[in-house]
Each structure stands twice: as structure tokens, then as C-alpha cells.
Amino acid sequence: MPDTRQHNLHARNPSRYRALASSCAAVVALTATGAATSANAHADPASCPVATATTFTAPTVPFLDWAENLGYDAQGNLWVSRLYRNEVQRYDTTGRITATVPVTSPGAIRLGPDHLLYVVYGDNSLNMVPGARNGGVVRFDPAAPTLTPEVFIGGLTMPNGAAFDPAGNLYIADTAEGVIRVRRDGTVDTDWTAQATLFGVNGLAIQGDSLYTTVYLAPDGRIQQIPIATPARSHTTLDLPLADDLTSAPDGFLYVATTSGTLLRVDPTRRTTCALLSTGPLAAVVPIPDTPDLMVTTGSGDILRVHPSD
């Protein structure tokens, strides 16, 4: 996918890239051995509700159909990033595919303030090679008769997670760079971004006046809290190894999908966590609009609907 806008954010640190191969190998090994064919709901009775999980849609080819991320458009349609198929897919309420859009190595899918869908591309570890800047974000109108993605920002390294703040700024979790803040006109807020440099970031969510990002490529994986007004004051909220993507839900909790196969509910204020679900490797989670339920993507390609008990 061509990059139409290039941004030199700050200098690379080559030592980070030398550490990447061993980190990725460990993740791939864990993912390959941690798969399961069904979801077994369980809970910590002291803090978590019992959850039930049902399969919304199953993969055509397990693991080739790895479901990297997901999001809803303004019409309530579910969109899923099929990382290895280089496309995002739209589903109806029965789990049937109703449209596909080509996107190279797609990551997060987020609804913008303009009702366009914004999709991260270049979510591929090959883009971590020094000098490779093949990542970015495309956008398209999901209600248009012809679904044609256009580049919103290019020249990134390995973007993965994304989130919009109430003002319409887009934040991107770039694994090699940290969190990047992009204004509504597609330009990078370099001053803000320079204060949010953090290697190994993955997922991204906004709750209140803070960003929460998962730091995945680190021995002590964690959730990092970044105050939007003062990004240099970021700090660890929880140590949470193998936390992949996360979301902020209307109930005030963060929900975190882990590659180790556990769906976690996190209270960022109390800094507590509990397990809602254990299954194979999980990739991302998002609230289903106007319901208490969650939709969860998996490494095998299944999409799960998770219902916490009332």
C-alpha cells in the first residue's frame, strides 16, 4: 500500500530491533501452543461475574483467518481485521460476511468523528526492520456504495492499536515508536508524540482523561497509563504479561485480551483485575453497542460473543 505522507518522528534506536526477533519468536511459540477449540467461561467469584461465551462466527481456515482486531461502524455493523488475508470484513448480525475491503496487514478498526472507519495498516513485524516505514492508517466510508480506502497517514513503522479522543485526535500505538497523536487534518502532533515514546506498545484505549496502552514486547508486560494533557507523566497501572489489545467499556472497566488466552476485566482506578474467560489466544475486544456484551477476536479466527452475568 503506498504511503502518501511521510513523517520523521524521531531517531530510531537500533538495539530495539535486535531484541525484536527473540521477543516475537517467544510470542509465536506461545500462540501456537496455546490454541483451544472452545471457550470455557470461568470467574473469580470474589470480583468477576460469571461469563458465557458463544461463537459468533468460525474461521474458514483456522489461524490463516487470525482475527487481529475489530470495531463497529455508525450503522452497527461489525468489522474484523483478517491480518493474514490482508483485508477487513464486514459482518451482519448472523455472522455472515457482507463486504470485504483490502488493507495490508490490518490492525485496529475505529469509528472516527466523521463517521468514517479508520483502519491501521502495516501491522507486521517485518516493518520493524530499520528503515522500513510501511505502516499507517487508511479510512473509508462504510456506508458508501463502493468501499475505497484512502491513506490518512503513512510513514509509520508497525502501528497496531488506535483510539480517538473527544476532540477528534487519533492516537496510534506504534510498536517501535510509542503512541503517536494525529490531528484531524492528518498531521502528527510531534510535541505530544515526543513525550509518549515507548517501545513495545500494542493496544490502545481512552478512558476519562487518560490513554491506556498495553506494552507487549517486554519481559514485564504491562498496562501503561498516559495522561492526555501531560503524556510525559505516564506510569504503569498494572503488570500484565501478554496483554494484547484492550477496550474501555461503558461500565467503567477496561477489558483486556491476552495472547495467553484470558479475557481480563481491569479496574484502572483500584488497579485490580479478574478473569472473565479462558480459551485459546485472544487478540482484541470491543463492547457491542447498546448491550452489556463484548465481542472478542481470537488467534484461531473465531469471533466470540461474551456475556457477563447480570
Q: DSSP assignment of the chain, as one string?
A: ---S-----S---HHHHHHHHHHHHHHHHHHHHS--SS-EE---TTT---EEEEEEE--SSTTTT-EEEEEE-TT--EEEEEGGGTEEEEE-TTS-EEEEEE-SS---EEE-TTS-EEEEE---GGGGSTT---EEEEEE-TTSSS---EEEEEEESSEEEEEE-TT--EEEEETTTEEEEE-TTS-B-HHHHHTTB-TTEEEEEEETTEEEEEE-SSTT-EEEEEESS-GGG-EEEEE-TTEEEEEE-TTS-EEEEETTSEEEEEETTTTEEEEEEE-S-EEEEEEPTTSS-EEEEETTS-EEEEEE--
14: buried, middle or exposed (CB in 10 Å: 19+, 13-18, 0-12)? exposed
Reported as a single tens digit per residue, the pLDDT across 61-70 is 999 999 999 9
| Alpha-carbon torsion angle 199, 202, 205, 211, nearest 10 | 0
* Residue 4 Cα distances to 103, 149, 199, angstroms: 15, 13, 25
Reported as a single tens digit per residue, the pLDDT across 218-277 is 777 899 999 999 999 999 999 998 999 999 999 999 999 999 999 999 999 999 999 999
Reported as a single tens digit per residue, the pLDDT across 269-302 is 999 999 999 999 999 999 999 999 999 999 999 9
Question: What confidence score (pLDDT) does residue 310 get?
Answer: 61
Among 26-40, 65-79, 185-199, where is mean pLDDT lowest? 26-40
**Which percentage of the chain shows pLDDT scores above 70?**
85
In this structure, the number of other CB atoms found within 10 A of the CB of residue 242 comes to 22
Reported as a single tens digit per residue, the pLDDT across 119-142 is 999 999 998 888 889 999 999 999
Instruction: Give the model's confidence band at 36: pLDDT under 50 very low, under 70 low, under 90 confident, else very high.
Output: very low
- Residue 82 CB contacts under 8 Å (≥ 6 apart), including other chains: 65, 66, 67, 68, 88, 89, 106, 301
Residue 27, pLDDT above cutoff 90: no
* pTM (2 d.p.): 0.86
Are 240 and 256 a contacting pair, CB within 8 Å?
yes
Question: What confidence score (pLDDT) does residue 28 get?
Answer: 36
CA 204 to chain centre: 6
- Residue holding cell 487519533? 170
Residue 34, pLDDT above cutoff 50: no
Instruction: Give the model's confidence band at 12: pLDDT under 50 very low, under 70 low, under 90 confident, else very high.
Output: very low
How far is it, in rounded angstroms, from Cα 128 to Cα 144?
A: 34
- Residue holding cell 462466527? 57
In this structure, the number of other CB atoms found within 10 A of the CB of residue 226 comes to 24
Residue 109, pLDDT above cutoff 90: yes
* Alpha carbon distance, N-terminus to C-terminus of the chain: 45
* Phi/psi of residue 77, nearest 5 degrees: -80, 140
Gyration radius (Cα) of the chain, Å: 18
How far is it, in rounded angstroms, from Cα 236 to Cα 222?
A: 7
- Residue holding cell 463486504? 99
With CA atoms as reference, report the closest residue to 221 among 249, 266, 278, 259: 259
Question: What confidence score (pLDDT) does residue 50 get?
Answer: 81
